[in-house]
Amino acid sequence: MALSGAGLVALGLAAPAGAQTAAQPAAAPAPAAPAAAPASPPRVNPPGLPSRSPTERWREDHSALADPAKRTGFFAPLKYIPLSEGENPIYLTLGGEYRLRFDDFSENAAFGLRGVDDDDYLQQRAMVYADLHFGSVARVFVELSDTRTWGKEATLTASDQSMTELQQAFVDLTAGTSKTSTITLRAGRQEIPLGSGRLLGVRDAPNQRRSYDGLRGMFESDGYTVSAFWTRPVLNGLESFDDEPDDNLEFKGVYATLPIAKGKPFSLSADVYLMNYDRDGASFQGATGEEDRNTIGVRLFGTLDDFDYNWEFVYQFGQFGDSDISAYAFGTDTGYTLSDVVLKPRLGVKFDIASGDDSRTDGELNTFNPLFPNNAYFTLASLTGYSNLVSVFPSLRIQPLDELTLSAGADFLWRQTGNDSVYMANMAVAPRTILNDDKDIGTAYVLEANWRPVQYITVVGQYVNFQTDDAIRLAGGDDVNFFQLRTTLRF
């Protein structure tokens, strides 16, 4: 599929009449550092405007629009539709998103290891939601999505297209234990983003987002949050209304966020978690069996003057068939922002290591399973996954305008062990890489622009030049050039 220059220009949507400008969102996609997200951040946003979070509409709180005088934004009439007044007013919030995305692998999609060289295609994602509130004690949230792909030569996957589907449909029951503490029980289909997205992301960068069917309980008090969940991930089919829970995979756990130090110049919060991933029919290195994997971890994040940091330590244990599981990961994202300098440059570096399997005959599986990660953690090309990996990723981000950030970086990549494959997104094995033991994967050079001309619209462009090394070349792979341009309208 080929798109003309005019077609690419068409991706820049015009601002709606009466739209209000707003500051740049707290975090830009890779290679800029992701925002340090707590387990259950408060539902805060400008009344009548979409949340500055690029992903989670159910976090938005438009209750302040109970005052008709405040319903002045372009879409404000949709954000508070009063149905009943009183101590617990009933009101409805409506909203949605439309995203158009163009991807161009001008050289060697998937390193050329899957029989596809040039591949350029267009993807659409449309989402609408309705959020019915019964005061502060109950709510019903329903969200529909429609995801489509045109012109892709590689085989379509569930993250490319799922047509029209029920993305979320859950009921919340909330009780206040005090003026500052609440307990919420959530039941139904839901998204569960936790932490910084290394292990639990909503898969926003691909076309089809991730959701789960199950139960989740949440306790919040003065910045402390505890979330316990039992779920089955949703399997996305390629046609409309064919999604269903994965009967072969059960995912459950407890995740807590603890604020330790608040304010300036030093802030520190900690996430602690224990999760269980139990999958029938899992496959590693040609072996198949039940994967009963426990994941325990700690994430420390915060600021020190102009430094920001996001460090995570993870260990996994359990059973895969007759083998013991022993795997680990360590990820850091550290930056320094020259806040008083023109362009406000941020110098950052990510360092990540995720274990691979040292031997197929020692009765132990060491390959780290990243569970349900943010596939764009490294780049939007999603060429490398968070397994059997060592990554050093220095970057520079500047802010020429409040609504524009530019960033550049170089991601140096190796295998943690040459005895295991190179892994791509979603633990997909890069074909034939198990046949050589060279550790050098290559270097990804990344350029990105993130522009938010008005509150409702975001435009992101990213270019990746991946210079492969022998771990890929000895398997028959080659260098990759990738470009993505996407425009998102959110209301």
Residue whose tokens read 């996407």: 486
How confident is the model over 321-356, as pLDDT tens digits? Answer: 999 999 999 999 999 999 999 999 999 999 999 999
Contact between 351 and 309 under an 8 Å Cβ cutoff? The reply is: no
220-274 pLDDT tens trace: 998 899 999 999 999 999 889 999 999 999 999 999 999 999 888 999 999 999 9
Q: Quick one: pLDDT at residue 41?
A: 43
Q: Is the pLDDT of residue 46 over 80?
A: no
pLDDT for 67 beyond 60: yes
Q: Is 84 exposed, middle or buried (0-12, 13-18, 19+ CB in 10 A)?
A: exposed
What pLDDT, on a 0 to 100 scale, did the predictor assign at position 42? 46
Nearest to 372 by CA among 269, 223, 246, 270: 246
- 3-state secondary structure labels for all residues of the chain: CCCCHHHHHCCCCCCCCCCCCCCCCCCCCCCCCCCCCCCCCCCCCCCCCCCCCCCCHHHCCCHHHHCHHHCCCCCHHHHCEEEECCCCCEEEEEEEEEEEEEEEEEECHHHHCCCCCCEEEEEEEEEEEEEEEECCCEEEEEEEEEEEEECCCCCCCCCCCCEEEEEEEEEEEEEEEECCEEEEEEEEEECCCECCCCCECCCCCCCCCCCEEEEEEEEEECCEEEEEEEEEEEECCCCCCCCEECCCEEEEEEEEEEEEECCCCEEEEEEEEEEEEEEEEEEECCEEEEEEEEEEEEEEEEEECCEEEEEEEEEEEEEECCEEEEEEEEEEEEEEECCCCCCCCEEEEEEEEECCCCCCCCCEECCCCCCECCCCCCCCCCCCCCCCEEEEEEEEEEEEECCEEEEEEEEEEECCCCCCCCECHHHCECCCHHHCCCCEEEEEEEEEEEEEEECCEEEEEEEEEEEECHHHHCCCCCCEEEEEEEEEEEC
Q: Residue 412: give its domain's CATH number.
A: 2.40.160.100
Angstrom distance (rounded) from CA 387 to CA 285: 13
| pTM score | 0.87
Q: How many CA atoms lie within 13 A of 463 on its CB side?
A: 6
Name the percent of the chain lying above pLDDT 90.
Answer: 70
> How much is the average pLDDT of 33-59?
54
Mean pLDDT of 195-216: 92
pLDDT at 157: 86
What is the predicted pLDDT for the residue at 5? 38
Residue with tokens 């050039």: 481
What whole-number distance in Å separates Cα of residue 152 and Cα of residue 115? 13
Domain hosting residue 39, numbered range: 5-490
Looking at residue 16, its pLDDT comes to 32
Distance between CA atoms of 35 and 269, rounded to whole angstroms?
13
Q: Residue 28 — very low, low, confident or very high, per pLDDT cuts 50/70/90?
A: very low
The total domain count for the chain is: 1
What is the reported pLDDT for 461?
Answer: 97
Mean pLDDT for 140-144 is: 98
